[in-house]
Amino acid sequence: MLELVKELCALNGVSGAEEEVRDFIRAKAAPYADSIRTDALGNLIVYKKGKKPTGNKVLLAAHMDEVGGIVTKITDEGFLKFDFVGGVDRRVAIGKPVVLGEKKVPGIIGLKAIHLVSREEEKKVPKTDSLYIDIGAKDKEAAEQLVELGTYGAFVGAPEEFGTGLLKAKAIDDRVGCAVMLELLKEDLPLDVTFAFTAQEEVGTRGAFGAAFSVTPEVALVLETTTAADLPGVEDHRKVCAPGKGPVISYMDGGTIYDRELFETLRDLAEDNHIPWQTKEYIAGGNDARTIQRSKKGVRVAAMSAAVRYLHAPASVGSTADFADMLRLTRLFLDRMAESC
């Protein structure tokens, strides 16, 4: 599965411009799907029959989109003013390479040179409106030949294994969940499953609303990533979770109180099958589960995540063993759902 994660992370799919990722997933999923469709919000909905006919009772969801930027103005000098799409820490964006639009125009996020910065400015994190993207254009007219307003920008960074079983890449959030679902689609499933590859999660879990409303599942498992804060200087009670300690099974986060029975099912399956697991030690964050849970009459939801350092940064870090264990535990979860349906 690791090579598939790498392929997915190398693609660009900023929220609202997920086409490249969606086309890749559709091509991979089509040979195994009983039905496949793209809805009005850009979600890719894939249905596959299993050994036990259960219809639309079970939904697996993972989001395709990633954080990035969008061009809002072109200056007379040919620089691009922009805003961030999704929650990006401005401190880690400065000086990072990006590509813009379908043409993949190369650029770099710039800021006023350090020797021109006042002592007061040195003490503050630069605001977004003080940043710009340099595409090497000599003036506004030259820039307009390459980029127009509303063009999306994605961070650049080739996926790379390093350290002891770690992967660094952009968009690990949430191409890992997409990879798990694509692997499962290749297999004989114990029951019917709907797979929702959702859009626009990073800007408010928008795609998940349409996906859940149209599928109307009874149970949903969201496959995600979550913030790992096992870092120097972080107080123990705020470290949340850590890469390499197994999938994160959540009982609550900033957007959802998860179904207790489903949480306990995942926990017990992990322990009975000697799969390492952890849970969040700090209540924070949120994902598509919050939206799916509130669809129509309500949906029982669970979430399983990979702990990832530097989430929403140009390069994030996760454990390859955790990715594999997410696949194993999801497979066991579907077996249990087939027994109980």
Are 222 and 62 in contact by the 8 Å Cβ rule? The answer is yes
Are 13 and 66 in contact by the 8 Å Cβ rule? The answer is yes
d(CA 302, CA 221): 5
d(CA 151, CA 165): 36
Q: Is 45 helix (H, G, I), strand (E, B) or coil?
A: strand
- Which alpha helices (H) appear in the chain, and where do they start and end? 2-9, 19-29, 90-93, 119-122, 140-144, 172-185, 206-215, 260-272, 289-293, 320-340
Q: Is 282 helix (H, G, I), strand (E, B) or coil?
A: coil
Active site members:
201
Q: Are strands 97-100 and 105-110 parallel, antiparallel or unpaired?
A: antiparallel
Q: How far apart are the first and last CA of the chain?
A: 29
Max CA distance (Å), the chain: 67
**Nearest Cα to Cα of residue 250 among 305, 326, 311:** 305
261 contacts: CB under 8 Å, gap ≥ 6: 300
Count of other CB atoms within 10 angstroms of residue 23? 14
